[in-house]
Structure 1
Amino acid sequence: MYTPFGAPIDLSDLPSFDRTKVSARRSAFLGRVSTKDNQDPSLSIPRQVSHASARLDDGEEFVAHYWDVESGMLPPELRGLGTQEMYDGLAVSVQRDGGLQDLLACAEVLGITHVLAESSDRVARAMLTSLTVEHDLEAKGIEVVYADEPVGGTESGRLRTRRYSQVDAEIYRAVLMEKSMGGQIQHAVQGWNHGYAPYPYIREVDETAPRKTSRFGMERPKQKLVPHPDSRRFDAARELCRLRREEHLKAADIITILEADPERYPIEDRWTQNRVSGLIENPKLTGYQVYNRRAKRTGRPGLSPLNPMSEWVWSPRPVHDAVISVEEWKTAQEVTAAMRAGAANDGPLLRIRTAARRLGLPVTLVSTGATHKVYRIGDRQVVLPIPVPNGVAQQVIDDMERQR
């Protein structure tokens, strides 16, 4: 730090007059190309290196290059997970010594003193992530430098510029998310499919839909769901849904029935509980297009949590052939909820209500006692203990079906 308040005599010849450099400066490059912006890594990464190089000392070169081709919305622990084969196929002229995770793990061991990036948003779009990276590196004595920051001036001015830049990146991230979500909602509302095709369907390019072309000329055609060429798949999906809805069978029991007749219920490889449960839960079997079922931006890859149904986006009308009706799908979800309740008090009662609804019988609570409740089911009164044992529930359901 420069100060105008120096000593009254010249002390520059003393050994401790200037700060001694303990080690030579060793700078590493940090960059990122967003998958969401359709950037070309072979152009963007060399450009970032060129801009960051302006902050190198005379005659200095980068000792390592760390860069990722990933969304800046990812937290550090999910960055840099792409395979080396993927990066080799990008034909980027800049060598890659790893990604952000590798830099954080190896910087201190390699004696890196400075990390240079084109701008803070090349570290991350989320301000918390970029701050975390800066904090982790600075705690190890490694200075983070952004090429778009002014040289000289006060530390407070530099910090103000940096934080403003990070706020801008955070706001850009929020705007990008809002626009992306709005576009995806319209994509579903207009009937086009997201993700894989459920078992009874295949994806087919909608030739009547407008084509979206990226700035690199790659087309992104819109796809819709159409029935699978093997019509047995529709029958198989319809049957496994019926087995859950009407017979209250668990996934393992449904698999046993499906595997007993492979000609009638064809499947690649084999039936699994995830496949059966996923089909029963999939609202696309109703003919409607449904989006935002899972929170794919949170949770671990492959384990995205389900969003509440109130946040799902449904097309206003059916847009492809239906396997089951919406009412049948809803009943299947009620049965599944009752089965998951297991020994919970309302589980067996929910089974009775579901069966009564299927048979067109209203269920009304008549009176409540300390140990039992009286219900009117159709034109009959039934006394049920509290809680309702599974055996009693099944007997009531059997009686209702026999009388119908």
Structure 2
Amino acid sequence: MPTVRTVPLETGGDTGSDMLLAWVERSGNRPVAESRMGGLRFAFYGRVSTEDRQDPETSWARQRAQASALVGGYGRIVAEFFDVGQSRVLPWARRPESAALVAAMADPDRAFDAIVVGEYERAFYGNQFSLMVPLFEHYGVQLWMPEAGGRIDFAAEDHEQLMTSLGIQSKREITRTRIRVTTAMATQAREQGRYLGGRPPYGYRLADAGPHPNRAHAAWGRRAHRLEPDPETAPIVKWIFAQRLAGHSVARIARALNDAEIPCPSAADPKRNAHRTGREWTHTTVRSILANPRYTGRQVWNRQPTDHDLIDPANTGLGHRQVQRWNLPDGWVISARPAHPALVSEADFVAVQSIRAPRGSPDPDRCYRLAGLLRCGTCGRRMESCWSNNRAAYRCRHGRTSASKADAERPKNLYIREECVLAHLPALYILLVGPDPACGPPNTADVIGHLRAETITLTYDPETRSLRADAWEGVKITVDHAP
């Protein structure tokens, strides 16, 4: 048998069970990775939220210095992950550098043993710490923070309470800032009529309004701005309101602007509208101008506030995304007095808002039984309902709208009468689902109900005059005639 050699412990006078306690104490106070040459290997993580309000290099240097001071004597920083322009409210998986750090943790041969941050708020927000702890424990990575004076003990109750308190404080800081900013902006818009930034409405341009009201900003050379009429586009806005008050439709106004080759808003100011195509006037463009209350000379804020929706309700850890929605007029903040020259009177603006095109068919007897169920076999667009020769029909204009001129190369409008399709629906249904001897031929209403329930669309091909169901490839039937 092999000989087992034992090495006596240096107990310093401890005897009996005291020898075991002394050995445990000496072993437990020493981090596992300290046995490596040079102590622990740290990965530094930092973050700066904005580049225009903060200097990333200065912020990085401050956070890096705090982290270095914290781990001094315990190891060295061997890797760095620093997010720029990322908000703390974003979870780690949605910040580029923190996501890269998580990916590096999963590598068994990673170059670091622990993570150190220079400030809690730079890494965590709300409950993000509690969501990340299981990941740190799973990969066996330590976390060091200045607020704890060193290593975070994930199992210690006092450390858990400290991190929970810091998370609440971090979230409270963001919430307070958001409330203060929105309240201040509402007051500035209502009481002062101040221009609060953003793209000026079509018809206006920015003008200098003197030094910034905030003395600190004014000392930095920042200037306030106000809206003034643009001599080139302001007459267009006045003309649009006049045409609408005269009873002309939005489509007719847009078509007249395109026929006159007047540049649309994105073409008139392409630098401030780089996200727009700038090709022509559309119904939406004219409608948005007619609905903008700032043309009355009042400053209006909070027409399109920012909401926060969960990215995935099934995984709340992914956080929220910002969504802008149009606010109802009772949620607008309107200046108490005119803030800039008006392009339309308040009476005319209110009158324009009450002009509405009648919804539905002017004839209550008109009924389109196949509305939304037909597609064009030429361009693939959904065919629209229309009344042709005193009968229900469907047409496709291949992308043309009443706001633009007809393209000479565009195919001719496609028309098909509803009665032509209805006559062939029972036969098409039998081809799709098979005959039912017990019930006999299906009636038209049942077939339409089946198509809607199963969200099946029918495609009409004008060249072959055939009707096919998109849900079943190869199943089609010839339509006898078309108008």
TM-score class normalised by the smaller sequence: 0.5 to 0.7
Match of 2:156 in 1: 155
Report the CA distance between 1:316 and its aligned residue.
Answer: 0.8
In structure 1, distance between residues paired with 2:69 and 2:88: 23
Match of 2:225 among 215, 223, 226: 223
Amino acid at match of 2:293: P
Residues 21/129 of structure 1: CA separation in 2 closer, same or farther (3 Å cut):
closer
Match of 2:293 in 1: 283
Q: Secondary structure at the match of 1:32?
A: strand
Residues 271/277 of structure 1: CA separation in 2 closer, same or farther (3 Å cut):
farther
RMSD of aligned residue pairs (Cα, Å): 4.2
Match of 2:280 in 1: 271
Residues 20/131 of structure 1: CA separation in 2 closer, same or farther (3 Å cut):
closer
TM-score, reference length from structure 1: 0.64
8 Å Cα contact 2:263/2:280 also seen in 1: no
In structure 2, distance between residues paired with 1:64 and 1:213: 35
Report the CA distance between 1:130 and its aligned residue.
Answer: 4.9
- The answer as to 2:83 corresponding to 1:67 is yes
8 Å Cα contact 2:56/2:84 also seen in 1: no
Match of 1:102 in 2: 100
Identify unmatched segments of 5+ residues in structure 2. 1-14, 269-277, 310-319, 369-384, 387-483
TM-score, reference length from structure 2: 0.55
Match of 1:120 in 2: 120
In structure 2, distance between residues paired with 1:69 and 1:137: 25
Report the CA distance between 1:270 and its aligned residue.
Answer: 3.4
Report the CA distance between 1:195 and its aligned residue.
Answer: 0.9
Q: What does 1:187-336 align with in structure 2 at a 5 Å threshold?
A: 187-189=188-190, 190-193=192-195, 194-207=197-210, 210-214=213-217, 218-230=220-232, 233-243=233-243, 246-250=247-251, 253-262=252-261, 267-268=267-268, 269-273=278-282, 275-296=285-306, 298=308, 304-335=324-355
In structure 1, distance between residues paired with 2:241 and 2:336: 23
Amino acid at match of 1:285: Y
Q: What does 1:297-376 align with in structure 2 at a 5 Å threshold?
A: 298=308, 304-335=324-355, 343=360
Match of 1:84 in 2: none
Q: Give aligned pairs, total.
A: 320
Amino acid at match of 2:303: R
8 Å Cα contact 2:51/2:84 also seen in 1: no
In structure 2, distance between residues paired with 1:280 and 1:130: 49
Match of 2:53 among 20, 38, 41: 38
Report the CA distance between 1:175 and its aligned residue.
Answer: 1.7
8 Å Cα contact 1:203/1:226 also seen in 2: yes
8 Å Cα contact 2:42/2:75 also seen in 1: no
In structure 1, distance between residues paired with 2:215 and 2:280: 37
Q: Deviations over 1:130-161 (max 9, x none)?
A: 54455555554434332222348981111112
In structure 2, distance between residues paired with 1:164 and 1:320: 47
8 Å Cα contact 1:236/1:265 also seen in 2: no
In structure 1, distance between residues paired with 2:349 and 2:222: 32
Structure number with larger C-alpha Rg = 2
Q: Secondary structure at the match of 1:262?
A: coil
8 Å Cα contact 2:47/2:122 also seen in 1: yes
Amino acid at match of 1:120: Y
8 Å Cα contact 1:28/1:63 also seen in 2: yes
Q: Secondary structure at the match of 2:294?
A: helix
Amino acid at match of 1:284: R
- The answer as to 2:57 corresponding to 1:58 is no
Amino acid at match of 2:66: H
Match of 2:64 in 1: 49
Q: Secondary structure at the match of 2:148?
A: coil
Amino acid at match of 2:78: F
8 Å Cα contact 1:52/1:116 also seen in 2: yes
Match of 1:145 in 2: 144
8 Å Cα contact 1:284/1:290 also seen in 2: yes
Report the CA distance between 1:198 and its aligned residue.
Answer: 0.9
Residues 157/321 of structure 1: CA separation in 2 closer, same or farther (3 Å cut):
same
Report the CA distance between 1:21 and its aligned residue.
Answer: 5.3
Report the CA distance between 1:213 and its aligned residue.
Answer: 2.8
Identity of aligned residues (%): 21
Q: Secondary structure at the match of 2:43?
A: strand
Report the CA distance between 1:168 and its aligned residue.
Answer: 1.6
Q: Secondary structure at the match of 1:206?
A: strand
8 Å Cα contact 1:28/1:66 also seen in 2: no
Residues 139/183 of structure 1: CA separation in 2 closer, same or farther (3 Å cut):
farther
In structure 2, distance between residues paired with 1:76 and 1:332: 49
Report the CA distance between 1:227 and its aligned residue.
Answer: 0.7
Amino acid at match of 1:213: A
Match of 1:95 in 2: none
In structure 2, distance between residues paired with 1:43 and 1:115: 21
Q: What does 1:177-196 align with in structure 2 at a 5 Å threshold?
A: 177-189=178-190, 190-193=192-195, 194-196=197-199
In structure 1, distance between residues paired with 2:227 and 2:307: 24
Residues 260/133 of structure 1: CA separation in 2 closer, same or farther (3 Å cut):
farther
8 Å Cα contact 1:212/1:220 also seen in 2: no
8 Å Cα contact 2:237/2:343 also seen in 1: yes
8 Å Cα contact 2:114/2:144 also seen in 1: yes
Match of 1:28 among 39, 43, 51: 43
In structure 2, distance between residues paired with 1:387 and 1:41: 65
Q: Deviations over 1:179-235 (max 9, x none)?
A: 1112212332212223111110011121166244359x63432211001132xx122
Q: Secondary structure at the match of 1:205?
A: strand
Q: Secondary structure at the match of 2:256?
A: helix
8 Å Cα contact 1:298/1:305 also seen in 2: no
In structure 2, distance between residues paired with 1:279 and 1:326: 14
Residues 100/59 of structure 1: CA separation in 2 closer, same or farther (3 Å cut):
closer
In structure 2, distance between residues paired with 1:308 and 1:243: 25
In structure 1, distance between residues paired with 2:141 and 2:47: 19
Report the CA distance between 1:291 and its aligned residue.
Answer: 1.0
